[in-house]
């Protein structure tokens, strides 16, 4: 294995963790956009306490290192809900205690009612999600946050696939992350990017993952954005 030199150590550790947890897999997978991808990232498979706790550590380290200013955390339903809760716990453990909230898919007409649950949504809000494919979940969260009178400040994700988004079934020359940054004016921080995955695979050229470096590189050359 090649040593990590001049690379993002946190990102490399995260990719290794995702692979060993079975969350990041290699083969042939069909994406929502209908593309055949040589890799698949399913954050829903961080499915026990130890994995979720470790994942939260990666998020918290990246968020704190990013310098993003935020007053609270928001988790979009459904995958963002446990992520936001876990990250809030880890940030508190590190001395940065902030409130968090999340949304329901359907509004309740009893109890506290509405679509928002948790702390009042106010100030600068950091959205926590797993990946950003089309930016749809981010746009929905932004609308909810603004409707509550708060400011959507940034989005933190686990993996930036760095590939072209699709609109109306067509590829567009920008990624969902680029759209959120450039069109919506929000910061985005990712624990790891496709470039980090390629570096990881290059370091494993001599083992069973070796052949996937060329396949992922080919996929990036075809669908990569930016």
> What CATH fold (topology level) applies to the domain 9-223?
Rossmann fold (3.40.50)
C-beta separation of 79 from 51 below 8 A? no
Q: Which of 32, 79, 105, 108 is catalytic?
A: 108
- Can you give the length of the chain in residues? 226
Say if residue 1's pLDDT is above 50.
Answer: no
Cβ count near 209 (within 10 Å) = 16
| Catalytic residue check, 108 | yes
Which tens digit of pLDDT belongs to each residue from 69-81?
999 999 999 899 9
What is the pLDDT at residue 109? Answer: 55
- CA Rg value for the chain: 18
- Those residues with Cβ within 8 angstroms of residue 149's Cβ, 6 or more apart along the chain or in another chain: 121, 122
User: Of 30, 110, 204, 215, which residue is the catalytic one?
Assistant: 110
What average pLDDT does the segment 8-19 reach?
Answer: 97
What average pLDDT score do residues 41-53 get?
Answer: 95
Give dist(CA 162, CA 176) in Å, integer.
8
| pLDDT at residue 136 greater than cutoff 80 | no
Share of the chain above pLDDT 70, in %: 92
79 catalytic per annotation: no
Quick: pLDDT tens for 103-128: 987 765 544 557 899 999 999 999 99
CA distances (Å), origin 147, targets 27, 122, 205: 42, 10, 49
Cα 223 to Cα 85, 101, 188: the distances in Å are: 33, 34, 20
What is each CA distance from 54 to 21, 126, 139, 163, in whole angstroms?
A: 11, 20, 28, 26
Residue spans of the domains in the chain: they are 9-223
Phi, psi of 2 (to 5 degrees): -80, 140
pLDDT at 104: 86
Quick one: average pLDDT of 181-202?
94
């Amino acid at each position: 294995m090649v040593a990590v030199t001049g690379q993002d150590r946190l990102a490399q550790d995260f990719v290794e963790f995702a692979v060993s947890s079975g969350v990041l897999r290699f083969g042939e997978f069909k994406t929502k956009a209908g593309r055949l991808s040589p890799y698949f990232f399913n954050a829903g498979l961080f499915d026990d306490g130890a994995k979720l706790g470790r994942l939260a550590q990666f998020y918290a380290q990246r968020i704190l290192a990013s310098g993003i200013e935020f007053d609270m955390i928001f988790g979009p339903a459904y995958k963002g809900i446990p992520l936001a809760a876990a990250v809030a716990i880890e940030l508190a453990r590190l001395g940065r205690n902030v409130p968090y909230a999340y949304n329901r898919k359907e509004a309740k007409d009893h109890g506290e009612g509405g679509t928002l649950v948790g702390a009042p949504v106010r100030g600068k809000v950091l959205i926590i999600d797993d990946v950003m494919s089309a930016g749809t979940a981010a746009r929905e969260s932004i609308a909810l946050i603004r409707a509550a009178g708060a400011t959507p400040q940034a989005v933190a994700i686990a993996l930036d696939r760095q590939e072209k988004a699709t609109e109306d079934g067509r590829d567009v020359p920008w990624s969902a992350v680029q759209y959120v940054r450039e069109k919506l004016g929000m910061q985005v921080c990712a624990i790891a990017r496709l470039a980090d995955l390629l570096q990881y695979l290059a370091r494993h050229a001599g083992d069973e993952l070796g052949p996937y470096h060329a396949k992922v590189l080919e996929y990036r050359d075809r669908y990569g954005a930016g």
